[in-house]
């Protein structure tokens, strides 16, 4: 009979190792729950700060009027329109470019090819370029060299450059994690690689794709420094993509740091931005789930 307390070949007794394993497991559970609680607490702190300082100014008028008195009075409607337009340009440019590059890197390039490694490292470098350098670059390249001037188009394209590395790397990871059996099975059935890609791999890689989208969207909507020099400062309703239009994050920055007495409306605008973000994220999630016919997350 085994004596639970007797040491075995490694010097541990069955009971002792069992106990220490269970103890470690319980400790891990405590640590992980504490981390989750701490992160939640900080988040609630920040959002509560925004809500408390900003909710008083929120009204239908605030959302639909034009700004007056440099933003101290009136609303943010033209700014909301500009923001949505900038985001739309960014996504329309970044999504095909990003997913395309990711697919190439993951599916059509051998893992240790020079081209693949160069592109991947170039993307890592791009991910680290400071936002203000992007702004200055966007100003020089899109606004002056390509002649777009201060415009929503220039802003959207600069944002697309910023969002690209995040989108590509996250999507690439999504594709890498699809088990090889899927591809081998498709090949065995005689599917073309194009079919395999669109009908099998993209739906299966959706966790990575959505993570990339969320991070990309988040970065795009949060960006300030890059847009000041490209899509500009004008708070009038834009009439076309070539007009200059202020984004919500620039408006928040101007009101809180530059305009005297603008702090209250800055918080209100921040609140609107948080709600807008919630809506966009939910929408992206719903679209991905609905059109790709698959429960994206395991929970």
Partner 1 sequence: MRNINANVFKTLRQVFAISAAMFLLRHGNIAAEEELTGKLVLTGSSTIAPLASELGKRFEKQHPKVRVDVQTGGSSRGVADARKGLAEIGMASRAANDDEKELKFFTIATDGVCVILNKDNPVQALTDEHVAKIYTGKITNWKDVGGNDAPITVVNKAEGRSTLELFCHYYKLKNSDIKAHVVVGDNEQDIKTCAGNANAIAYVSIGTAQSDADEGVAIKLLPMNGVDATVENVRLGKFPLSRPLNYVLKSEPTGLPKAFIEFSQAKEQYDIVKENFFVPLGK
Partner 2 sequence: MSRWASDFILVWILRALAAVSGVIVFLIAAFLALESFPVLRHVGIAVFFTDNGWHPIDKLYNLSPMLLGSLLSMAGSVLVATPLGILSAVFCQYYAPPFLARQFRRLIELLAGIPSVVYGLWGLVVLAPIINRIHPPGQCLLTGIAILTIMILPTIALMADASFASVPKQFTHGAAALGLTRLGTLRHIILPAARSGLFTGVILETGRAIGETMAVLMVCGNVVQVPGSLFDSMRTLTANIALEMAYAHGDHRSALFVSGLILMVVIVLLAVAAEILSKGQIYE
Residues that bind partner 1 (CB under 8 A): 69-71, 144, 150, 228-229, 232-236, 244, 254, 256-261, 263
- Which of 50, 58, 47, 70 lies closest to 246, judged by CA? 70
Applying CB under 8 A, the span of 92-100, 147-155, 232-240, 286-294 interacting with partner 2 comes to 92-100
- Residue 142: count other Cβ atoms within 10 Å of its Cβ: 24
The pair phi, psi for residue 248, each rounded to 5°, is -60, -40
Q: Which is nearer to partner 2, 9 or 297 (CB)?
A: 297
Phi, psi of 234 (to 5 degrees): -65, 130
| Binder of residue 232, out of partner 2, partner 1, none (CB less than 5 to 8 A by kind) | partner 1
Nearer residue to partner 1 within complex by CB, 69 or 117 = 69
Task: Give, for 73, the enclosing helix (H) or strand (E).
Answer: strand 73-74
Q: Which of 123, 153 has the CB closer to partner 2?
A: 123
CB 159 → partner 2: shortest distance, Å? 12
CB 236 within 8 A of CB 77: no
Contacts of 242 (CB under 8 A, 6+ apart): 148, 149, 151, 152, 153
- Tell me whether residue 3 or residue 25 sits nearer to partner 2 (CB atom): 25
- Of 14, 58, 225, 234, the residue at the interface with partner 2 (CB under 8 A) is 225
Angstrom distance (rounded) from CA 43 to CA 93: 31
Q: What is the DSSP letter of 69?
A: G
For partner 1, the closer of residues 98 and 135 by Cβ is: 135
Beta bridge partners of 13: 7
Nearest to partner 2 of 87, 241 (CB atom)? 87
- Compute the residue count for the chain: 299
Helices vs strands, H then E, count in the chain: 13, 2
Q: Kindly state whether residue 5 participates in binding partner 2, applying the rule CB under 8 A.
A: no
**Nearest-angstrom CA–CA distance, 94 and 89:** 8
Q: Is 91 in the site for partner 2 (CB under 8 A)?
A: no
CB atoms within 10 A of CB 247: 32
Smallest separation (angstroms) from partner 2 to the CB of 244: 18
Torsion over CA of 189, 192, 194 and 197, rounded to 10 degrees?
20
Binding flag, residue 11, partner 2 (CB under 8 A): no
Q: Does 22 bind partner 2 (CB under 8 A)?
A: yes
Which region among 1-9, 66-74, 123-131, 236-244 touches partner 2 (by CB under 8 A)?
123-131
Using the rule CB under 8 A, which residue among 8, 49, 146, 185 binds partner 2? Answer: 49
Stretch of residues binding partner 2 (CB under 8 A), selected from 9-17, 59-67, 71-79, 267-275: 267-275
Say which entry of partner 1, partner 2, none residue 178 contacts (CB below 5 to 8 A, set by partner kind): partner 2
Site for partner 2 in 60-79 (CB under 8 A): none
CB of 219 to partner 2, least distance (A): 7
By the 8 A CB rule, do 175 and 210 touch?
Answer: no
Size of site (CB under 8 A) for partner 2: 102
């Amino acid at each position: 009979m085994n004596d639970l307390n007797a040491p075995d070949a490694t010097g541990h007794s069955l009971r002792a190792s069992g106990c220490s394993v269970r103890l470690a497991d319980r400790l891990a559970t405590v640590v992980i729950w504490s981390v989750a609680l701490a992160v939640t607490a900080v988040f609630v702190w920040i959002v509560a700060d925004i809500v408390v300082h900003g909710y008083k100014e929120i009204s239908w008028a605030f959302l639909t009027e034009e700004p007056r008195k440099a933003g101290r009075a009136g609303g943010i409607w033209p700014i909301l329109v500009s923001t949505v337009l900038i985001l739309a340009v960014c996504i329309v440019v970044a999504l095909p470019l990003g997913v395309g590059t990711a697919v190439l890197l993951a599916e059509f390039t051998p893992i240790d090819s020079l081209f693949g490694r160069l592109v991947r490292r170039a993307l890592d470098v791009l991910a680290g370029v400071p936002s203000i350098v992007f702004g200055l670059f966007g100003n020089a390249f899109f606004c002056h060299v390509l002649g777009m001037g201060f415009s929503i188009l220039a802003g959207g394209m600069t944002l697309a450059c910023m969002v690209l590395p995040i989108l590509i790397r996250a999507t690439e990871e999504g594709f890498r994690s699809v088990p090889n059996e899927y591809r081998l099975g498709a090949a065995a059935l005689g599917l073309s690689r194009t079919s395999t890609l669109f009908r099998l791999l993209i739906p299966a890689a959706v966790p990575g794709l959505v993570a990339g989208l969320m991070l990309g969207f988040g970065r795009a909507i949060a960006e300030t420094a890059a847009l000041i020099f490209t899509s500009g400062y004008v708070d009038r309703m834009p009439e076309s993509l070539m007009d200059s239009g202020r984004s919500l994050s620039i408006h928040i920055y101007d009101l809180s740091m530059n305009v005297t007495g603008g702090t209250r409306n800055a918080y209100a605008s921040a609140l609107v931005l948080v709600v807008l973000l919630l809506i966009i994220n939910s929408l992206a999630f719903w679209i991905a789930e609905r059109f790709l016919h698959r429960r994206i997350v395991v929970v």
